[in-house]
Structure 1
Amino acid sequence: MTRPQLAEARRVRAAELFDQGRSGAEIARTLGVSEESVRRWKRVWEEGGADALRPTGRPPKLDDIQVEQVRTALEQGAQAHGFEADLWTLERVGLVVERVTGVVLSRASVWRLLTGRLGWSLQRPERRAVERDEWEVARWIAHEGPRTKKGP
C-alpha cells in the first residue's frame, strides 16, 4: 500500500471512530497521529461526511499500470537502456519514464515515484577498486600488518 493509500485508510478509519463517538485523543492514539490532525479531520467530517476525508487532489500522472511498466524497465538495469554505467540517477529514471510512458516528470516527481510508489530507497555505490581482493586484504591485516607496527 502506498503512502497516500495509507493516509486515506487512516482518515477513513478516523471517520468510523467518529461515528462510534470516540474522543479525539483516543483516535489520535489509535491511529498514531496528532490530536490536531484528528480535530482537522473531524471538522471536515462534520461538514461533508466520510467522503470529504477522501483525497481530492490532483490525480497522479502515472496510473498503476504505467508504474509497473516503469518498475519492469528499471529492473532491467541502466545499461539495458543505453547508459554507460549501470547506475540510476533521477535524470536517467526520468528519461526511461518518458520513453516507457510518454509522461515527462520533474526531478521531484521522479524522486516521489521511486521512493513512494515504487518503494525504492537511495543507494550509493561503494567507492572500492574493482581489483580489490578481500581475501588478500584480510591476510595482510592478519600476518603482515602486525610486523609493520612499531613495538614498545
Structure 2
Amino acid sequence: MDRIDRKIIQALQMDGKMTVADLSERVGLSPSPCARRVRHLERSAVIKGYVAVIDQTKVGLPISAFASIKLERQREEDLDRFAEAVAHWPEVVDCYLMTGQRDYLMRIVAHDLEAYERFLKQKLTRLDNVASIETSFALGQVKRSEILPLE
C-alpha cells in the first residue's frame, strides 16, 4: 500500500458512499486509476465491505452489555467451538479472544434487560466449557469509531 491507497482508505472510512469521481478528486487521481485501486483494495480484502452505521438506540437496542467469559479449558478445539457458536448469534456485535484472566470479551446489544437475560440463559450459559461469565452494562457511549488511524 502506498500513500494514494492510504488516502483512498481514509476518504472511504469517512464516507463509504462517495462516488469514484468525488474520491478521485479528493485523492488527486483520475477516476479510472482510482476505481482500479479501489477494486484492488476490495479484492485483497483491505476493504472488507461497506455498511451503514446505525444508531442502536434509535432502532430499539439501547442496551450494550459487555460480557467477559472464562472457559474451563483453552484447547484449540474448545476455542474454535466457542467462536463458531458466537459467530451465529446476532446479539453479539463484537467478540475478542483476550489475554489475561478472561478468555473472551464480547459486546451484546439488547432491547432491554430481559432480552439480555434470555440471551444469557438460552445461549451463552448453554455452551459447553463456559466456566464463568461477568457482565457489565454501558451507561453511555463516549466514543465509537470505525475509522482507523492510518497515518
Is TM > 0.5 for Structure 1 vs Structure 2? no
Answer 1 or 2: which has greater strand percent: 2
TM-score by length of structure 1 reads: 0.30
Q: Which structure: greater helix fraction? A: 1
